[in-house]
Amino acid sequence: MASRIPLFLGASAGACALAFAATAPAVSAPAGGGDDSGMVSVFHGVPGLTVDVYANGDELLSDFKPGTVTEPQSLKAGTYDIQVFEAGQGPDGTPAIEKQVEVPAGANATIAAHLSADGTPQLTSFVNDVSAVGDGQSRLTVRHVAAAPAVDVRAGGQPLFKGLENPKQDSAVVDAGTVSADVVLAGTDTVAIGPADLNLGNGTSTVAYAWGSANDKNLALATQTLDTTRASSSGNAAGLAPNSSQEWLAWAAATGMVTLTGVMVMRRSAEHRG
């Protein structure tokens, strides 16, 4: 039986949103693409850089602002040539980030454009665990995608996730409700982010991104909520390794940080993903 940890913190995270037209330009057919598709989201965690994103030479997203994450969207399986430009600089300019990536059939993933621990822009692919949880439960995942050293995620002043390094993640199954937590430098009480309150909805999987730069003093928290009520056996697709820095892409209506308050009890059932 997993141990239960009471959480008591306060305050709130900021809120933001970015609209993206549902009629995005068509993307050129990917190399090796078949009839199968993957579900993919994108998180923008490079501070101070509004971007345009291209795939196979076609613009997929314009004026994409830091701290936002797209809703999961279906993308045909195959290989894509991805270029991320400073807004208005593409497609003939020099991309801020460029990578050839593969979207495998059946994937459910989020690709984070973010800073490495030393501040270099990069892409990291995370598998989204959308397997069903019990009634009254929710799943919380924390992803470290900030230019910062290892961190602990605390609940009620006690570490919940320890020694989380960029670009790793850790997760737990929790009681649905509201949880408040903060992020500190690993092994210390030095607060880097928060405290911030998160709403963990019944039957959902919530991802919290610690992003930004410690040196620039702009560390922040953003969240993504995924529905597990329609989860299938292909929710965690074979062939998409966690944190692989590949296999990604999808664009549509975007949401950013979430503002909520309260108290809940968390049940730890996590494994650290390396």
- pLDDT tens, position by position, 5-33: 233 222 222 222 222 222 234 455 454 44
C-alpha 18, offset from chain centre: 16
Taking 60 as the threshold, does the pLDDT of residue 45 lie above it?
Answer: yes
Tens-digit pLDDT profile for residues 77-100: 888 788 899 999 988 888 988 887
* pTM passes above 0.75: no
Q: What is the mean pLDDT of the chain?
A: 72
First to last CA, the chain: 24
Tens-digit pLDDT profile for residues 235-269: 333 223 333 222 223 222 222 222 222 222 223 33
Reading the block at residue 145, the tokens are 């995608």
Longest Cα–Cα distance in the chain: 57
Top-confidence residue, 263 or 196:
196
Alpha helices in 31-144 (DSSP H): none
Reading the block at residue 13, the tokens are 């995270």
Radius of gyration of the chain (CA): 18
Reading the block at residue 128, the tokens are 């989204």
Separation CA 138–CA 153 (nearest Å): 18
Which residues are registered as beta bridge partners of 39? 74, 108
Side-by-side strand order, sheet with 204-213: 4-7, 264-267, 169-175, 137-147, 204-213, 220-227
Separation CA 55–CA 91 (nearest Å): 10
Q: How confident is the model at residue 156 (pLDDT cuts 50, 70, 90)?
A: low
**225 vs 5, 117, 176, 199, 257, CA distance in Å?**
22, 25, 13, 10, 10
pLDDT at 33: 43
pLDDT at 55: 81
pLDDT at 43: 92
Residue 91 DSSP symbol: T
User: Among 137-151, 188-202, 252-266, where is mean pLDDT lowest?
Assistant: 252-266
pLDDT at 107: 80
∠ Cα 77 122 81 (to 5°): 35
Taking 80 as the threshold, does the pLDDT of residue 189 lie above it?
Answer: yes
pLDDT at 44: 94
pLDDT at 166: 98
- Whose structure tokens read 């800073």? 115
User: 34-38, 53-57, 210-214 — which one is most confidently predicted on average?
Assistant: 210-214
Residue 66 backbone class (left: φ over 0; alpha: ψ -120 to 50; beta: rest): beta
C-alpha 228, offset from chain centre: 16
Return the exposure string of 158-192: e unless at least 16 CB atoms fall within 10 Å of the residue's CB, then b. ebbbeebebbbbbbbbbbbbebbbbbbebeeeeeb
pLDDT at 112: 87
Taking 60 as the threshold, does the pLDDT of residue 69 lie above it?
Answer: yes
Q: How confident is the model at residue 35 (pLDDT cuts 50, 70, 90)?
A: low
Residue 65 DSSP symbol: P
All structural domains of the chain with their residue ranges: 4-267
Residues 6+ apart with CB under 8 A from 81: 55, 56, 57, 100
Separation CA 224–CA 256 (nearest Å): 7
Q: How many helices (H) and strands (E) does the chain have?
A: 0, 21
Which residues are registered as beta bridge partners of 137? 175
